[in-house]
Structure 1
Amino acid sequence: MNETRSTADAAAPGPDGYAPVDHPGVTVPEDLRRWSVNWPAYTPVDITPPELRAEALARHVPDWATDGYATPDLVRDWEQRQAVALVPFQLDKRGWPLHPQGRTGRTGRNLGKWGESAAADPIVVAGSGDERRVLLITRDDIEQEAIPGGMVDVHLGETAPKALVRELLEETGLDLRQHTAVILGQDLVDDWRNTDYAWVASTSALYQLPATVTAVAADDALDANWYPFGSLDQLEDAVAAAGRTLYAAHRPLLQRALDHLAK
């Protein structure tokens, strides 16, 4: 799903009670973020897009959505999902999944699943020293420079390693099936679509090539380019010089790759 609006359009909820999908939500003070802290006045903003609301789901479930349920208490396999989650999470008394890091200021969902959506983020680095480069794409949903990647098709039996290769091939044309990746971590991602009850957790992996190769943007990518990758500051400067913005949620993943390369 590629619905996106500018920050200026992230207004208060409309008469139907829903806000734009990129609404930042209500401010959550750090001392009230944990679910164990009582906050009766908490009123998060619902950013559910029209196609995932109850009336729309009753007619049609979008191709990109795994859960065709308007509310998460209707999901029947939470025990199984919790067992395979990249980041452990709990359910509340209603049977709703709770974001592992606490309140987000937003409710509803703008993802295909309730609870954790598993993603795969392949970080492809080429060359060494002053010639080291990292491959980034321009995402078509937010038009920012990001690691090529996407959701793991868990419902089709796909694993994270297979998703890493598939996403690279689909978005950049690179076929790295014969290359060995280093798994860097499995972490929550500060994705722009996260809410209290639906969020992204990613398996990030590092691929190292001797030199850059041709990458052609496709699928969810508007463009694909190699950027200098000596440090995160250097990368951000190069992205800014190209008139673009680095996707903030991917900064920690890119820094982890740099830390691994520095060993």
Structure 2
Amino acid sequence: MKASGLLRMAIAQTHAKCRGDYSGGVTRFPVPDDKVSWSVNWPEYKPVDYTAPAVERGSARTDTDFRKIKPDVAPRFNEIDGKVDRRSYCGTYTIETNGVPRNPVGRTGMVGRGLLRRWGPNHAADPIVTRWKRDSSGTVMKMADKPILEFVAIKRRDCGEWAIPGGMVEPGDTVSGTLKKEFGEEAMNSLEASPEQKKRIEEQINQLFSQGQEVYAGYVDDPRNTDNAWIETTAVNFHDETGEAFGKVKLCAGDDAGAVAWKELHFSLQLYANHINFIKKVIELRNAAF
């Protein structure tokens, strides 16, 4: 296969879920694998224009549709725009003639913002909390002579899929702060905790998250992506080598999570978006079984 063909195949594989069914019954314009890349000329491409009503109504944390209000006043893309970081891990992204940013990976069959609040990159943070799986005696369990990992997973309320307990980085927030906040809200239900419980949860998280290793920073093949708005994330692994630190943490589903549990890392694991790719990087980092 020629190099160009291999490149198109790689793009298609990392840009699959964002061409599938969209929430709310909205149908995307079908995009075959060989038409994903913007470098392929495709005059017949007619993507559906969709921004969810809740996003259209907006808030202080949501971009406006400047195409309809003030076409000449667009956000400052590819730079820090006030408190919003509009830079991409993918590098400088293209701005279309109508002023909207172009998805750096390729076509999705939809323009507008869909369910996303911001034009261009919507930054997220994903904390991957892991420990070794142990038997009743405390011995680390193995498979094919490699130790087995477990990680904290949440079951998303919106689609019922298991996922890493992450979330969006709000304007002015840091990635490290978001990692702690999202884990507390989704895996420990800090939002419904009493002031005393919330303080204890914050102390536990600060201790647990004192050290971490970044395993990924880049584009996410998320089903909410469009041609003009997409998710990028920073995934960080927080590993409990002895099993003592996270053993003291009480998991309790909250916020967007319908359930929370320690999940064994296994090749048959099905996860939301391309979270499995982040998990595979942790497997490699820890030299664990899979």
Closer, same or farther in 2 for the Cα pair 1:248/1:22, shift >3 Å? farther
Residue 206 (1) aligns with residue 237 (2) = yes
What are the within-5 Å matches in structure 2 for residues 117-136 of structure 1? 117-127=122-132, 129-130=140-141, 132-136=149-153
- Which of 246, 250, 261 matches 2:271? 246
Deviations 1:150-181 (A, max 9, x none): 0001x2x1111111111111111264323211
SS at match of 1:34: coil
Partner residue, 2:192:
none
User: Residues 152 and 263 of structure 2 are in contact (CA less than 8 Å); yes or no, is this contact kept in structure 1?
Assistant: yes
Partner residue, 1:98:
102
> Rg larger in 1 or in 2?
2
Partner residue, 2:264:
228
Partner residue, 2:41:
38
Distance 1:118 1:256 in 2: 20
* Displacement after TM superposition at 1:100 (Å): 0.9
TM-score by length of structure 1 reads: 0.77
Q: Residue type matched to 2:282 in 1?
A: A
TM-score by length of structure 2 reads: 0.70
SS at match of 2:205: coil
Please list every run of 5 or more consecutive structure 2 residues that lacks an aligned counterpart in the other structure: 1-20, 134-139, 142-147, 189-200
Distance 2:276 2:26 in 1: 21
- Which of 105, 113, 116 matches 1:111? 116
Distance 1:62 1:199 in 2: 19
Partner residue, 2:28:
25
Q: Residue type matched to 2:271 in 1?
A: L
Partner residue, 1:6:
none
Partner residue, 2:206:
177
What are the within-5 Å matches in structure 2 for residues 125-204 of structure 1? 125-127=130-132, 129-130=140-141, 132-153=149-170, 155=171, 157-173=172-188, 175-178=204-207, 179-204=210-235
Closer, same or farther in 2 for the Cα pair 1:95/1:171, shift >3 Å? same
User: Residues 112 and 229 of structure 2 are in contact (CA less than 8 Å); yes or no, is this contact kept in structure 1?
Assistant: yes
Please list every run of 5 or more consecutive structure 1 residues that lacks an aligned counterpart in the other structure: 1-9, 11-18, 237-244
User: Residues 21 and 48 of structure 1 are in contact (CA less than 8 Å); yes or no, is this contact kept in structure 2?
Assistant: no
SS at match of 1:204: strand
Q: How many residues align?
A: 226
Deviations 1:102-146 (A, max 9, x none): 111122211010110000001000125426311100112212110
* Displacement after TM superposition at 1:42 (Å): 0.3
Distance 1:90 1:121 in 2: 26
SS at match of 1:169: helix
Partner residue, 2:87:
84
Q: Residue type matched to 2:46 in 1?
A: T
Distance 2:110 2:283 in 1: 32
Q: Residue type matched to 2:286 in 1?
A: L
User: Residues 122 and 205 of structure 1 are in contact (CA less than 8 Å); yes or no, is this contact kept in structure 2?
Assistant: yes
Distance 1:42 1:250 in 2: 29
Q: Residue type matched to 2:180 in 1?
A: V
